Amino acid sequence: MRVAGCDYRTVWLDGSTVRAVNQALLPHRFEIAALATHGDTAGAIRDMVVRGAPAIGAAGGFGMAQVFLEAPSELPARVEYVEQGYQRLRLTRPTAQNLFYALERVRQAGLAQIDPAQAASAAMAEALAYADQDAAACLRIGQLGAPLIREGATVLTHCNAGWLACVDWGTALAPIYVAHRAGRKLKVLADETRPRLQGMSLTAWELAAEGVSVEIIADNAAGFFMRSGGVDLVITGADRIAANGDTANKIGTYEKALCARASGIPFYIAAPASTFDLNCPDGQGIPIEERSGEELTSVAGLDEQGRLVKVRIAPAGATARNPAFDVTPAELITGIITEKGIIRPTAQDIARVIAPAIG
């Protein structure tokens, strides 16, 4: 998508270097990170320079291609290096299904070749294909989801499942972009999404850059706006969807789904087929990452002189608990917008549509 007159993807391969929009600096600075090795790429995923499940998948795929580029020529050292790199990339974030999926695809493509150079180029081709397919899937999600947004609608979203979270277009925001580009009038309420404020700093930024009307609200205010008639539709992304439709997404998604149900508002998940984990029967099988409490107790922002400063907002010595995701049970979800169609969140419909798509 466009930033200051140029088209960008969130992450791409430039020779053997992975380049990525540094999302840890947004919305205050727009910088491109250069990740020279798979270790750098793993660090960028872990530190959320790259974030958002599909973008993590693409970055992981490129990182896995870097592993093959870096690996020694001789067997078995090569296989050992590949396995170590695979594990290193895999352990960066425990919840993102897209990451595991992309890593596996690129690893298998590389391991299928005996010649080291052919292994590296097969891995690169597979990583590039993953990224292109993700961008195409997101556009398709946008086209399929856009009719849900009627003229004049207000859409509430949580966290950032926009183009910054993907390779391009976004998942939850793709229908909004497609509807907006088709000339439909609409408005977005963006939950700020504590603790990391991705809604405040990324969703509000990218929507405004595209010219979509957006207002930031406290996560606490989502229920108020839904109950008082100010929301027509909720769309969020997903980090992993179990076989029965239970969906892990950014912490707080479950609360917003409860609010939507209480007010009779449709609640949609938008995610590519690669987000589904059909080996996971339901939400109880999805591990929930608990991150450092410091993400809550400190906040970074611009001071009056325009310097990026981190400030502590908690009392000295306070402790915080910080689960990064929650699971929204399938029964609270109206539908799941995928590139294969809008699916009802039932094991039957998911198996019918998704199983053929992801093999």
* CB-nearer residue toward its own copies: 78 or 250: 250
Residue from 126, 168, 210, 219 touching its own copies (CB under 8 A): that is 219
Please, what is the minimum distance in Å from the beta carbon of residue 158 to its own copies?
Answer: 8
* CB-nearer residue toward its own copies: 113 or 298: 298
Rg value, the chain, Cα:
20
Please, what is the minimum distance in Å from the beta carbon of residue 322 to its own copies?
Answer: 7
Asked about 282 being catalytic, the answer comes back as no
Residue from 23, 92, 133, 193 touching its own copies (CB under 8 A): that is 193
The answer to whether residue 65 forms part of the interface with its own copies (CB under 8 A) is no
The CA distance from 236 to 190, in Å, is: 10
Residues 304-343 that bind its own copies (CB under 8 A): 304, 309-323, 326-327
The answer to whether residue 345 forms part of the interface with its own copies (CB under 8 A) is no
The answer to whether residue 157 forms part of the interface with its own copies (CB under 8 A) is no
Identify the helix (H) or strand (E) that includes residue 228.
Answer: none
Q: 32-35 and 17-21 as β-strands: parallel, antiparallel, unpaired?
A: antiparallel
The answer to whether residue 192 forms part of the interface with its own copies (CB under 8 A) is yes
The answer to whether residue 37 forms part of the interface with its own copies (CB under 8 A) is no
The answer to whether residue 297 forms part of the interface with its own copies (CB under 8 A) is yes
Bridge partners for 234 per DSSP = 156, 267
Residue from 47, 80, 115, 215 touching its own copies (CB under 8 A): that is 215
The answer to whether residue 224 forms part of the interface with its own copies (CB under 8 A) is yes
By CB under 8 A, how many residues form the interface with its own copies?
62
- The closest of 152, 141, 226, 144 to 191, measured between CA atoms, is 226
Whole-angstrom distance between the N-terminal and C-terminal Cα of the chain? Answer: 30
Secondary structure of residue 326 in the 3-state scheme: strand
| Catalytic hit among 239, 246, 277, 326 | 239
The answer to whether residue 262 forms part of the interface with its own copies (CB under 8 A) is yes
Q: Tell me the CA distances in angstroms from 86 to 92, 108, 116, 274, one per residue in order.
A: 10, 11, 17, 18
Place of tokens 């693409």: 58
CA atoms within a 13 Å half-sphere pointing along the CA-CB vector of 254: 13
* CB-nearer residue toward its own copies: 2 or 352: 2
Q: Per the structure block, which two tokens stand in for 133?
A: 């397919």
- For residues 245 and 336, the answer to whether their CB atoms sit within 8 Å is yes
- The closest of 200, 152, 209 to 177, measured between CA atoms, is 209
* CB-nearer residue toward its own copies: 178 or 207: 207
Residues 13-32 that bind its own copies (CB under 8 A): 27-28
Q: Per the structure block, which two tokens stand in for 100?
A: 């595991």
The answer to whether residue 293 forms part of the interface with its own copies (CB under 8 A) is yes
- The closest of 291, 308, 301 to 201, measured between CA atoms, is 301
Please, what is the minimum distance in Å from the beta carbon of residue 114 to its own copies?
Answer: 47
Count Cβ atoms within 10 A of the Cβ of residue 341 and give its class: 0-12 exposed, 13-18 middle, 19 or more buried. middle
Residues that bind its own copies (CB under 8 A): 27-28, 189, 192-195, 197, 200-201, 204-205, 208, 214-225, 227, 250-252, 254-255, 258-259, 262, 288, 293, 296-304, 309-323, 326-327
Catalytic residues: 239
